[in-house]
Chain A
Amino acid sequence: MANFSTNEFKGGLKFMLDGDPCSILENELVKPGKGQAFNRVKYRNLKTGRVNERTFKSNESVEGADVTDIDLEYSYTDGEFWYFMDPVTFEQHAADANAIADCKKWLKEQYVYTVTLWNGTPLLVSPPNFVNLAVTETDPGLKGDTAGTGGKPATLETGAVVRVPLFMNVGDVLRIDTRSGEYVERAKDI
């Protein structure tokens, strides 16, 4: 990979830091009038997801990280790996539990996920902002309660548990916002 000097730093640049691939969130030139220049960088470690700060001398350079985002369709899991397929080339990628992390509870066959590849290997799997999932377990629905006051827990087909209005029943398909993990509305179909 190419090297990047501090004057090429900008939001979104993927680089290697202490052996981990990272992505720049914010880059600020720090330079008092007649003083030495530094770049103060806020970055996300793409392996751990943690956000941190680092100060670079303005003549430093970093190694670029071979990190790309691609959209892949989820196929199946064998318990150890989760398999995703490129819908165009049919190429398969296997993501381990670290890469799946919190996305596990939103994984549904044939849905398209953004997979971040590092040196060709899945590093991170991100769900779409909204997914439609069926309710597999919840208390019986209360007829007449359409106002959605209070609510109750419901288990979805992926195993995720969300709060839903009282009138929902097993088999109902719900639209879920994966960023907040909250129920949005009843969906017409899957």
Chain B
Amino acid sequence: MENNWRPTADIDTLKKRAQFLADVRLFFAQHNVLEVETPILSAAAPTAPYLTSFVTGYQPLSGSSKQHYYLQTSPEFAMKRLLAAGSGSIYQIAHVFRNGEQGRLHSPEFTMLEWYRPELSLHQLMDEINALLQQVFGFEPIIRLSYRGVFEFLFKFNVLTCSDDDIIACAKERIGGLPPDLDLDRDGWLALLMSHVIEPKLADLNMPLFIYDFPASQAQLAKVIQDNAGNDVAARFELYIDGVELANGYDELLDANELQRRFESDNQQRKTLGLDQMPIDVNLLAAMISGLPNCTGVAVGMDRLMMLALDKRQIVDVQSFSFERV
């Protein structure tokens, strides 16, 4: 295509983008959060089965052996090593890479804003995000609902205690045009309800929303705690604006043994799915054994955030060059 040399965002949008980035940096300077940079390449990679890292090879000038390196899917592991080394509050604006993900709201390469706060509780971190989004991006105040509350409100069942069959029946009733042979686990069905039923409703709600206290089985790298009803929940939140998933925050898991168990169980699931095993980040495990401070952290998709703030339809509208034009 003769126009493929052109940027996908117009120059005016790129100027606004630059201003957003400058304002974000100012916000964190005012909040005494240190900007850091960590390597994009890593010898280890996340094990999550549905997250595919780009892999590249390091070729020494002499010798023929080639060593695999992975492009980061988020700067999380390196930033946690800085926290364990005593960095205090840190943030990073980094390019991250997720293989195979391309669409209106997905790009294989995108910009992530990630920050960690040793002093803040999960709800205090939500307060800080609320302040950032109002001050820098001009969004409305963000309301909060628990994951259980969202499901109770929309589907009238307790998602933490109901049976798998209740969830499957609800999904099949509410979502038309599913593949007839669809075979998912409990969390897979929940994710489908989230993307096909809840997110469109949140778009209609027209109000930014934090959903917090996820099912314990979706803890990822968050602590598992008990909610006020005594149910195990993941100390995690997600932020939705206009039905778009924008941020994922954790009260960070500190237990190295538990993390190793989750890594290994991920790799086990990868094996079942016929996917490559990922090298576990032993440096992260060692950092956690040495002592990760109690902290909360959040990753925000900057392209999506700016897309919404500037009222654009797709993330390539705020990226200098879309993946198709790199």
Contacts and interface: CB of A to CB of B under 8 A. Distances in A.
Nearest to B46: A34
A29 B102 contact: yes
Contacts of A32: 191, 194-195, 245
Interface string B44-61: 000010110000000000
A122 to B, nearest CB: 28
B105 A29 contact: yes
A53 interface: yes
Contact of B50 (A7, A36, A55, A60): A36
Interface in B157-183: 175-179, 182
A52 B177 contact: yes
B195 A38 contact: yes
Interface residues of A, number: 22
Interface in A49-77: 52-58, 60
B104 interface: yes
Main secondary structure on chain A at its contact with chain B? Answer: strand
A28 interface: yes
Interface string A29-42: 11111111110100
A7 B176 contact: no
B194 A55 contact: no
Contacts of B105: 28-29
A34 B270 CA distance: 13
B101 A31 contact: yes
Contacts of A56: 179
A72 B36 CA distance: 65
Interface of B: 48, 50-51, 100-106, 175-179, 182, 184, 187-188, 191-192, 194-196, 220, 245, 248
